[in-house]
């Protein structure tokens, strides 16, 4: 399966700033999800957006989905040092619910 693309690969910001990460894919999807991974740890599910949805919010997280552009974005508002982690998008398509992961964005939030 083709891996999704994420940009930027790395993002360094100051605490309080917003962080935006983008994910692009090449197939039609059923769902797209965002996960977070702290260094050397497993993944934590953040938010799921379905193909018929355009925007979802969860706390300081805002996810958008543009199926015409085959892209999604994750916005973290008012970032904190504890948000430092890698963020991955993952999508499933067709009859498979097995997700394909993007390359990830490494976010560093400086206190």
Partner 1 sequence: GAVVSQHPSRVICKSGTSVKIECRSLDFQATTMFWYRQFPKQSLMLMATSNEGSKATYEQGVEKDKFLINHASLTLSTLTVTSAHPEDSSFYICSAPSGNQETQYFGPGTRLLVL
Residues that bind partner 1 (CB under 8 A): 1, 3, 31, 33, 35, 40-45, 48, 88, 90, 97-104, 106
**Closer CB to partner 1, residue 15 or residue 106?**
106
Report which DSSP code applies to 75: E
Residue 27, both tokens: 């197939």
**Minimum CB distance to partner 1, residue 65 (Å):** 15
**Closer CB to partner 1, residue 1 or residue 77?**
1
**Closer CB to partner 1, residue 19 or residue 32?**
32
**Minimum CB distance to partner 1, residue 32 (Å):** 11
Closest by CA to 111, choosing from 87, 82, 91, is: 82
Helix (H) or strand (E) holding 31: strand 31-37
Closest by CA to 11, choosing from 19, 3, 23, is: 19
Integer Cα distance of 19 and 107 in angstroms = 8
**Minimum CB distance to partner 1, residue 25 (Å):** 13
């Amino acid at each position: 399966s083709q891996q999704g693309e994420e940009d930027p690969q790395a993002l360094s910001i100051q605490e309080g700033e917003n962080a935006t990460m983008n994910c692009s894919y090449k197939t039609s999807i059923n769902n797209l999800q965002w996960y977070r991974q702290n260094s050397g740890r497993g993944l934590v599910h953040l938010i799921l957006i379905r193909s018929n949805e355009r925007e979802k919010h969860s706390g300081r997280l805002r996810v958008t989905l543009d199926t015409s552009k085959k892209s999604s974005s994750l916005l973290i508002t008012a970032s904190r040092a504890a948000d430092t982690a890698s963020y991955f998008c993952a999508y499933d398509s067709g009859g498979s619910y097995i997700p394909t992961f993007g390359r990830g964005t490494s976010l560093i939030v400086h206190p």
